[in-house]
Amino acid sequence: MSYEIEDIAKSILKEIGEPVIDEIVVERNVNRVTTESIRIAALIQSFSKFTGINSVKILESSRCPFLSLSYPAEQNDISLAQVKSLVRDLVQQEDDFGFPISTMTTTGYIDLMHQIHSIGVFNPLMSHHVKKRRQTGAIYTPFVMAHYITKKALTPVLKEHNRHQDVEKLLSFKMVDPAAGPGVFLIALLSEMVSHIESVTNNAELETDYDMVAIRKRIAENIYGVDLDRAALDIADISISLLSDEDFLGPPKFLGVTLKQGNSLISLKGMSGKEDHQQFFSNPEIRLPFEWRIEFPEVFQTEHPGFDCVVMNPPYNRLKPNLAEFLRERLVEGDREIRMSSFDEHKERLSEDVSYFRKSGEYQLANSYTIDTYRLFIERAIQLANSEGRLGFIVPSTLLGDLSARNLREYLLKESAIEGVEVYTEQAYLFDGVTQSVCIVTTKLGLESDDIDFRFGGTGLGAFSPNKSLTLQKSELEQVSGSSIVFPQVTRRGLDILQKLHRHSTLSSMDWLVIYRGELDLTQNSSFIQDDRKHALLIRGANIRRFRIEKSSIQQSVPLEKFIEHLSSSRRQPHIMQNRIACQQISNRSQRWRLKFTRIAPNTILANSCNYIAISNSHSDIYLDYLLGVLNSSLLNWRFSLTNTNNHVSNRELASLPIVDPDIAKYEQKQVIQNIINIVQNLSLNDYNTIPLDIEVFRLFGFDASEAREVLFQQKAEAFEISEICSALDYNS
């Protein structure tokens, strides 16, 4: 239905804008007065068709619905007076838009309003010049998704309050979406609460009837939303009014009361209401800072402060200047001439924001490494919820594995009871036009995680195969991923194998080796790089293959003595003169071999697009051959792929990989280790058959044929490889 409604929204915007189509683009840039007027007029006209109220009467009512400027329009200093004048002209048109809007259900019409707003604000040219919808930083949340997440977040608490005596407590339940937009989650909250209370009261033998109209109003009064876009909140206000039987032409019931404009992430007075963070911004007010404690005293200045439930689909923006992305978003919004000074202003704003998030003390869990807004919103949601509050959200699945999200994962696992985690593949297309792996998480604060309902490989909303659904324990996560606390996307059978693998020590526990990034920074040390092969060869990650270096691709070198002198105070300097093994630091997730290690000869320079392992002088170089074999094996590549969520190979991830310590290995294991060393040393330039190596690595870790088959199948090994390896393991057993 949403796709049909999107087509209706496009049609309405196109027909409303037909009289002024020549004014949409002026001097190669979007005329935002015109596009904003078209958006508002389309909303008023559609509302007129749905309610039967004359458009001019709607425009002149005391409520004057929809006549709020969108956030992009406000940022461009658009004149509301100019917009209102043009809107008045546009709504004079009479058209049924080729679809009987009056026959739509209330929720169907609310969806239409959301679509008109989303297209009108973020894709203003789409209805007129562009056939396919493109997404910017703001992603439209489908109604079915919002209801799905909200139901998961609320169901446990609603089950606990399923008697008519619990109704009054439910009516005091306070809920919020801190990135509310036009209110899709707010509508879902209202619907779920009303539906549950109707069920409770209908099933009870009561002497008096409940007034469901009054109940809807009370629930609506306890649903809160904050957003940068006042126009979106205007639609949320109308939507809730329609569903709670409020007067939608009188003064707004919710806008300015429970629905407020502001930046949920930035509070100049802090969450305590007592700080002063103005020094972080040259012009604090343009950030639209939002003071939660002051704006909602009935929520935060109480004996039990905070919301009972927080649900959201927050923005997924990375707070790092990116010219290509900046230009793309401006082009999607319709600009054709973009001043570079505007990018400089954008960078300055980002710099101030990042400084606030890192140094204000308001954020402790989400402000390390490159900052993503979705992580900030999760931490803010934790702050907004009360001590027993519930959270439900959809965010990129990097939350479950990235090093930058480690502190958040630890907090959620130790300070809340994670009830469900669902991971969706890039091919699930949960958002129209977006190919990104996302996850849905629901949790309850105040408890520690125990039984986590974990599902992965989702191909559609709620669509998971049975073998990709399992119950995870926090202790299992800690065992298989150590301090990084990563959620491995693995079957129960695979998890058992993973636990068996992690009975062994990790690379980080071996005191005879070190793991570092390459010693030459390609940016900071660029002056050392020569475009010839006359000096010490410079190895980049792209030059490295599994067990070998692509020598023909090496085109640069570095004066060795000069660079060694430059690194005189670095712990990495001595490693240049010794044998090492190295791998690519960037390795695409779609590849079977994510770990690609090779030998590095002495007096070779490694760029910081590589990671390397060096061993102490107390150990023979044959230890490197052993590590080279194990790290290039199918088993260790499978292990790495389970907990890596991006295209990077970090030193911390390498350090967490399990290894049989050759110094303390049993006699039988030492024999297998020697076999691995012999295989690696005998690999020739023309023969890279590593099946014998895989056989020995599986033997080393004590895996039988059935366990090896599970790993190789998940590694997408060829059928002949699986057959030969498993046959050998069966024979050896």
DSSP 430-478: -STT----EEEEEEEETS---SEEEEEEESBTTB--GGGEEEE-HHHHH
Mean pLDDT lowest among 133-142, 145-154, 180-189, 297-306: 133-142
Q: Which residues contact 345 (CB under 8 A, 6 or more apart)?
A: none
Place of tokens 């306070």: 174
Please choose, from the candidates 694, 703, 655, 702, the residue with its C-alpha nearest in 3D space to the C-alpha of residue 676: 694
Say if 335 falls within a structural domain: no
- Say if residue 33 is exposed, middle or buried (CB neighbours under 10 Å; 0-12, 13-18, 19+): buried
The mean pLDDT of 111-134, rounded to a whole number, is 69
Contacts of 155 by beta carbon, 8 Å cutoff, 6+ apart: none
Inter-axis angle of helices 705-714 and 719-732, nearest 10 = 160
User: Residue 733's pLDDT band (boundaries 50, 70, 90)?
Assistant: low
Q: Give the residues across from 260 on adjacent strands.
A: 226
- pLDDT for 489-498, tens place per residue? 999 999 999 9
**36: pLDDT confidence band, cut at 50, 70 and 90?**
very high
Distance between CA atoms of residues 663 and 626, nearest Å: 12
Residue 440's pLDDT is what?
A: 98
Q: Is 446 left (phi over 0), alpha (psi -120 to 50) or beta?
A: left
Report the C-alpha gap between 51 and 103 in whole angstroms: 10
Tokens of 337: 């001439």
pLDDT of residue 139: 67
Looking at every residue in the chain, the average pLDDT score rounds to 91
Which pLDDT score, from 0 to 100, does residue 2 have?
53
- State how far the Cα of 612 lies from the Cα of 549, in Å rounded to an integer: 14
Domain boundary among 101, 122, 143: 122
pLDDT cut 70: percent of the chain above it: 92
What is the tens place of the pLDDT at every residue in 448-476?
A: 998 999 999 999 999 999 999 999 999 99
Tell me the residue range of the domain where 101 lies.
2-122
Bridging pattern class, strands 580-584 and 597-600: antiparallel
User: 34 to each of 30, 120, 534, 659, how far by Cα in Å?
Assistant: 8, 11, 63, 64
Which two structure tokens, joined as six digits, stand for 208?
Answer: 């008096």
DSSP line for 537-565: EEEPGGGEETTEE-GGG---EE-HHHHHH
Give domain status of residue 151, yes or no.
Answer: no
131 band by pLDDT with thresholds 50, 70 and 90? very low
Residue pLDDT, tens place only, 279-329: 999 999 999 999 999 999 999 999 999 999 999 999 999 888 777 777 667
Report the CATH number at residue 689: 3.90.220.10
pLDDT at 245: 84
Is 364 in a helix, a strand, or coil? coil
pLDDT at 336: 55
**What is the pLDDT at residue 29?**
64
Q: Give residues with Cβ within 8 angstroms of 500, minimum separation 6.
A: 701, 702, 703, 707
**Which band of pLDDT confidence, cut at 50, 70 and 90, is reported for residue 132?**
very low
Name, of 117-121, 385-389, 681-685, the range with top average pLDDT. Answer: 385-389
Residue 193 lies in a domain: no
Residue 75 belongs to a domain: yes
C-alpha to C-alpha distance for 357 and 350, rounded to whole angstroms: 10
Work out whether strand 416-424 and strand 597-600 pair parallel, antiparallel, or are unpaired.
unpaired
| Alpha carbons 676 and 361: distance in angstroms, whole number | 51
pLDDT reported for residue 129: 45
Full DSSP string of 207-261: SS---HHHHHHHHHHTEEEEES-HHHHHHHHHHHHHHTT--SSSS-SSBTTTEEE
In sign, the C-alpha dihedral spanning 501, 502, 507, 509 is negative
Q: Which residues contact 639 (CB under 8 A, 6 or more apart)?
A: 498, 501, 657, 658
- Give residue 130's pLDDT band: very low, low, confident or very high (50, 70, 90): very low
Residue 364 has pLDDT above 70, yes or no: yes
The answer to whether position 348 is within a domain reads: no
Instruction: Count how many domains the chain has.
Output: 2
Residue at a domain's end among 99, 122, 145: 122
Q: What is the pLDDT of residue 409?
A: 96
The three-state secondary structure class of 707 is: helix
CA–CA distance, 295 with 300 (Å, rounded to integer): 9
Q: What is the mean pLDDT of residues 137-160?
A: 90
> Does residue 370 lie within any of the structural domains?
no
Distance CA 71, CA 78 (A): 10
**Inter-residue contact 680 to 628 (CB < 8 Å):** yes
Q: Among all chains, which residue has been given the structure tokens 């000869």?
A: 601
The Cα–Cα gap between 453 and 450 comes to 10
Q: Is 337 exposed, middle or buried (0-12, 13-18, 19+ CB in 10 A)?
A: exposed
Residue 554 falls within a domain, yes or no?
yes
Compute φ and ψ for 520, nearest 5 degrees: -100, 115
pTM confidence score: 0.89
Give the angle subtended at the CA of 227 by the CAs of 87 and 236, to the nearest 5°: 60
In this prediction, residue 686 has a pLDDT band, given cuts at 50, 70 and 90, of low
Q: Is 388 in a helix, a strand, or coil?
A: strand
Q: Which of 90, 122, 154 is the last residue of a domain?
A: 122
How far apart are the C-alpha atoms of 28 and 598, rounded to whole Å?
53
Q: How confident is the model at residue 205 (pLDDT cuts 50, 70, 90)?
A: low
Q: Please check the confidence at residue 335 and state whether its pLDDT lies above 80.
A: no
Question: Pick from 227, 269, 230, 263: which is nearest to 353 by CA?
Answer: 263
pLDDT for residue 346 is more than 70: yes
SS3 659: coil
Does a structural domain hold residue 281?
Answer: no
Q: Check residue 552 and give its pLDDT.
A: 94
